[in-house]
Amino acid sequence: MRRRRAGGRTMVERASKFVLVVAGSACFMLILYQYAGPGLSLGAPGGRAPPDDLDLFPTPDPHYEKKYYFPVRELERSLRFDMKGDDVIVFLHIQKTGGTTFGRHLVQNVRLEVPCDCRPGQKKCTCYRPNRRETWLFSRFSTGWSCGLHADWTELTNCVPGVLDRRDPAGLRSPRKFYYITLLRDPVSRYLSEWRHVQRGATWKTSLHMCDGRTPTPEELPPCYEGTDWSGCTLQEFMDCPYNLANNRQVRMLADLSLVGCYNLSFIPESKRAQLLLESAKKNLRGMAFFGLTEFQRKTQYLFERTFNLKFIRPFMQYNSTRAGGVEVDEDTIRHIEELNDLDMQLYDYAKDLFQQRYQYKRQLERREQRLRNREERLLHRSKEALPREDTEEPGRVPTEDYMSHIIEKW
């Protein structure tokens, strides 16, 4: 009986040790997967990660709630931009939206067959097409302010074709196709950044504000200050000027001002004017080939690259610490700025939703395509393994001369 009990205890101990070993191995594999698993693509043969750069960009937020409905045609932005043809990218640069940084990306950071020629000491770069001396980019750092300082949508759409016809007469052989792009920014941050910029002495006095073939009269667009600039102005003074173009700047610069009588405020009632401007800005924004958001640099890079099939050399950087970020304002002041920029607040809310939906749509489309490629690779790999291998006989070894002579001698 003792032997049986001793034998039974031995079997239990062995079984317990076996269970502990299995459990320990499972825990070890789980820990190992936590560290190594995310970097592996288990669907690909051999466990190798697919050779793409998807992980460089943020993952779409699965909990993002859509506010507006956009059809697929508004989300799909894969254009056949022909740099060797007659296509032109036109950058609408709105003040204090990060446009200077983005504009430098366009002339210095795009991987091109023929890179833009940017020489030290010169403000403009030469961006020629690979097959001829003709520009493919209309922007501050390529063609300069050819349509006026910080020209808006109304000015650019009426000015760009004529400017390029004068610059590149050879382009008259066939009509050009223009792809308009721009950047938007959170209205409160943008407004504070513009105030700080003006406070330091900056002005845009040389802006033309051309509309319907003429510039606004002093009565239509009175100045907010006397003298050469508005340096040293307080935020309260900046907000108190009713003619300050910083108010709802993004809507004004994206809308078709001809619809509301340009800068003639008596053309239509104020409420109707505001509604027309907002709807026009939304329409033009949707119709643009691309727009980005200052607050989402990596997503902006991603969408631009997928829209134009162009790649940037260095990734975009997200700088959260800006001059506007260093301004301390109370809640009442923020609410007042939002009221002054009510149209911009509505436009930005609309643009942000469209931007996020485009990003989610494109990422989901790419991931679906990647899963299909992985599936095809697995099927191909399995089909190769399932093929019967032909048994090939090794060719007989040919006896050497010494070996043959040895056999003959023995014979």
Q: Which residues are catalytic?
A: 150
CB 258, CB 242: distance < 8 Å: no
Residue 127 class from Cβ within 10 Å (0-12 exposed, 13-18 middle, 19+ buried)? buried
Closest CA to 281 of 245, 249, 319, 304: 249
Closest CA to 73 of 280, 278, 283, 286: 286
Report how far apart, in Å, the C-alpha atoms of 155 and of each of 102, 160, 163, 191, 249 are.
21, 8, 12, 22, 15
By three-state DSSP, how is residue 134 classified? strand
Closest CA to 208 of 259, 159, 250, 258: 159
* Buried-state track 294-319, b at ≥16 Cβ within 10 A, e below 16: bbbbebbbbbbbbbbeeebeeebeee
- Tokens (6 digits) for 214: 């003429």
CB 208, CB 155: distance < 8 Å: yes
Residue 235 class from Cβ within 10 Å (0-12 exposed, 13-18 middle, 19+ buried)? middle
Residue with tokens 């931009």: 81
**CB proximity list for 318: less than 8 A, separation 6 or greater:** 296, 297, 298
